[in-house]
Amino acid sequence: MKKITALLLSTSMVLTLSACGGAKSDDSANVSGGKKVTVDFWSAPNTKQVAFWNKMAADYAKDHPNVEIKVSQMPESPTSEAGIQSAIASGTAPTMSENITRGFAAQLAENKAIVNIGETDQFKKVVTDRKMEKTISNWKLADGSQYVMPVFSISDMIAWRTDILKEIGVNEPPKTYSEMLAVGEKLKAKYPDKFLYFNDRISQPTYYFRWTDFFMFYNAATNGNMFVEGNKMVADGKAATDVFSFFKKLSDNKYLLSQKANDAFETGLAVSRYLRTSDVATWKDKFPNLKFGENYAVAPVPVPDGVSTADVKTFADAKGLVVYASATKEQQTAALDFMQWLLSDAKHDLELMQATYNTPARDDVDMNDTFKAFLDENPAIKVFGQQVPNGIPTMNSPKMVDIHTILGEKGVNPIVNNGADPAAAWAQTETEIKAALSKK
């Protein structure tokens, strides 16, 4: 994901939204000014999400005949971010899209490609109606502005094979590093060919793989301390070194399975792995014998000894809606009204979970009666719902990709692949990240 070209800067300007605040979701004439307005909406490149957005667009059209929400799948060549950047630079950006992380939003905002929607009436109403005060607080950019309305937030968790844990005398998932390492020792004593933890991403340099290794554990170790704010590094160096040291102990003791292995957790080769809601959905069909509460559990990320194990923070696979600055004022108004209509109604969030298993970005997922029947049928998803307020989205920096790449190449990968010294690896990682941040 490279910096958007100079062409973007000359063709995309932030548009004022002062006229947008008064739109009412139940009045199509107010939304469109009586004119036919088309909102080009780009969905994530995922068939289930495309189907969800098409249904939402059709439902919205019933009460808003003057507004057409035209849904299409965003391009992903070579990535969805690259597809969006190319469209912006060529003047073919949509009115609105989903699938935007906070880190990518920081880059788009820096280049004036998206609208600051945080002060609009529609944004404020959604935050109130959707009960998302805690969740939304993690989405501000460095200057305090809000460019993204998060749609879903999936807190990364750890899955544990509780049936195998019981066989080695462990009754509950470990909560700290020392507890997890002790489980590894017991496991190897009884089952020398099994592994404590499976993560085949941890040995690879792909930038977004750091979300499911380093940032899961860093957020847990620091109670969600930011790593970078804008172009300033604010990382907790001790906690980062502790995470590196823990990864090294896992690797040195052969507790870590970092190579590709099909269904390692599901077949019992490894007793733990990082988990997202999409994995739970897959298991329902592919591994029906895996049953939550019977042979597997979902637990927070372990923390360093001495750190609180209550309300443990973690990385969140969290993405949301943005409005593009190149859209007309009428299109922006209609897009914001669609956002308000969609997210102010909990029934739409229920449909989102039913279609995708993605937990909505709101503080009350596990307490809202609208979701009770679904969560009773899917108790593993309820655990994810409880953790939504503890999820930290991607870092607040337009240089996110560079930073993540350095973390992998100079820190995480050398430690698990070559046994690098954690303190030295962190020192080099920190130096190179600071240098990257200082570049214009």
* Whether 28 and 138 share a structural domain: yes
8 A C-beta contact, residue 71 and residue 61: no
Task: At 59, list the tokens.
Answer: 């439902």
Verify that 144 and 270 share a domain, yes or no: no
Q: Are residues 32 and 46 both part of a single domain?
A: yes
User: Token digits for 61?
Assistant: 């059209």
Q: Which residues contact 396 (CB under 8 A, 6 or more apart)?
A: 102, 103, 106, 140, 141, 142, 226, 228, 229, 230
The two three-digit tokens of residue 35, written as one number: 């004119």
- Residue 219 to residue 225: CA distance in whole angstroms: 6
Q: In this predicted structure, what is the pLDDT of residue 148?
A: 97
Task: Pick the closest to residue 246 from 256, 231, 236 (CA basis).
Answer: 256
Say what the pLDDT of residue 19 is: 35
Among the listed residues 101, 72, 73, the one whose alpha carbon sits nearest the alpha carbon of residue 1: 101
- pLDDT confidence of residue 396: 87
pLDDT, tens digit, for every residue of 169-192? Answer: 999 999 999 999 999 999 999 999
Predicted local distance difference test score (pLDDT) of residue 32: 60
The answer to whether position 80 is within a domain reads: yes
Q: 287 and 253 in one domain? A: yes
Hey, what are 339's tokens? 């956002």
**150: domain range?**
6-154+316-392
> Which residues lie below 8 Å from residue 125, measured CB to CB, with a gap of 6+?
340, 344
Quickly count helices (H) and strands (E) in the chain. Answer: 19, 13
Do 81 and 227 belong to one domain? no
Do both 191 and 323 map to the same domain?
no
Q: Angle, to 10 degrees, between the axis of helix 102-110 and the axis of helix 80-90? A: 20
3-state class (DSSP) for residue 405: helix
b/e for 352-365, b at 16 or more Cβ within 10 A? bbeebbbbbbbbbb
Same domain, 210 and 320: no
* Interatomic CA distance for residues 221 and 214, integer angstroms: 10
Residue 427 lies in a domain: yes
Do 138 and 41 belong to one domain?
A: yes
DSSP 229: E
| CATH number assigned to the domain comprising residue 290 | 3.40.190.10
> Does residue 190 share a domain with residue 304?
yes
**One domain for residues 52 and 197:** no
Residues of the chain with pLDDT under 70: 1-30, 32-33
Give the whole-angstrom CA distance, residue 398 versus residue 416: 28
Instruction: Tell me the DSSP string of 109-161.
Output: HHTT-B---TTSHHHHHHHHHTT-HHHHGGG--TTS----EEEEEEE-EEEE-
- Asked if residues 249 and 421 have their Cβ atoms less than 8 Å apart, the reply is no
Q: Say yes or no: 406 and 293 in one domain.
A: yes
Q: Within a domain: residue 434? A: yes
Residue 169 maps to a domain:
yes
**How many structural domains is the chain composed of?**
2
For residue 1, is it within any domain? no
pLDDT for 78 equals 85
Do 220 and 280 share a domain, yes or no?
Answer: yes
What letter does residue 409 receive in the DSSP assignment?
I
How, if at all, do strands 314-323 and 96-100 pair? Answer: antiparallel
Residue 294 lies in a domain: yes
